Amino acid sequence: MPKVKTNCSAKKRFKVTGTGEITFQHAYKRHILTKKSTKRKRNLRKVGKVGSANRDYVMRLLRLK
């Protein structure tokens, strides 16, 4: 029986915390930062949490379920 593989793109993008929450980094913070406001860039620095609607899907990609 073959092993079930973890989705490599999901493995790079998501991280599971100690409490079991799945976190990710926000998009739109790589380039063209001069036109974005300081407030917007500051808020993009914060870690995002996967919502309940997408949680099961992401867990399946990471083979946690």
Q: Tens digits of per-residue pLDDT, 17-29?
A: 999 999 999 999 9
CATH code where residue 13 lies: 4.10.410.60
Tell me the pLDDT band of 1, cut-offs 50, 70 and 90.
confident
**For the whole prediction, is pTM greater than 0.85?**
no
List the one residue out of 28, 64, 20 whose CA is nearest residue 46.
Answer: 28
Q: Is residue 3 domain-resident? A: no
Q: What per-residue confidence (pLDDT) applies to 65?
A: 82
- Our count of domains for the chain comes to 1
Angle (CA) 41 10 51, round 5°? 60
Q: Is residue 2 domain-resident? A: no
What range defines the domain where residue 36 resides? Answer: 8-61
Instruction: Kindly tell me if the per-residue pLDDT of 9 is higher than 90.
Output: yes
3-state secondary structure of 22: strand
